[in-house]
Amino acid sequence: MNGPITKLAAARTALAEAFAGATRAVVFTGAGISTESGIPDFRSPGGLWSRMQPIYYDDFLSSEEARLEDWRRRFDMARLFAEAEPNAAHLAVANLARHGPVCLVVTQNIDGLHARSGVPRDMLVELHGTNDHARCLDCGERHEISHAQGTIAKTGASPRCTRCGGLVKAAIVSFGQAMPQEDMERAMTEAVQADLFVAMGTSLVVYPAAALPIMAKEAGAQLVIANNQPTDQDGIADLVLRTPLAETFRPLAEASLV
Contacting positions for Zn ion (CB under 5 A)? 136, 138-139, 141, 161, 163-164, 166
- Do 42 and 31 form a contact (C-beta atoms < 8 A)? yes
| Pairs from 68-76 (Cβ < 8 Å, separation ≥ 24) | 68/152, 68/158, 70/169, 70/170, 70/174, 71/148, 71/149, 71/152, 71/158, 71/170, 73/49, 74/131, 74/134, 74/145, 74/148, 74/170, 74/172, 75/145, 75/149
At closest approach, how far in Å is the CB of 147 from Zn ion? 13
At closest approach, how far in Å is the CB of 140 from Zn ion? 7
At closest approach, how far in Å is the CB of 166 from Zn ion? 4
Name the active-site residue from 90, 99, 114, 128.
128
At closest approach, how far in Å is the CB of 170 from Zn ion? 15
Question: What is the phi/psi pair of residue 83, to 5°?
Answer: -80, -20
Q: In the complex with Zn ion, which residue's Cβ is closer, 88 or 161?
A: 161
| Other residues' Cβ atoms within 10 Å of the Cβ of residue 172 | 18
Catalytic residue list contains 147:
no
Coil/strand/helix, residue 3: coil
Q: In the complex with Zn ion, which residue's Cβ is closer, 119 or 172?
A: 172
Question: Measured in whole angstroms, how far is the alpha carbon of residue 173 from the centre of its chain?
Answer: 12
Could you list the active site residues? 128
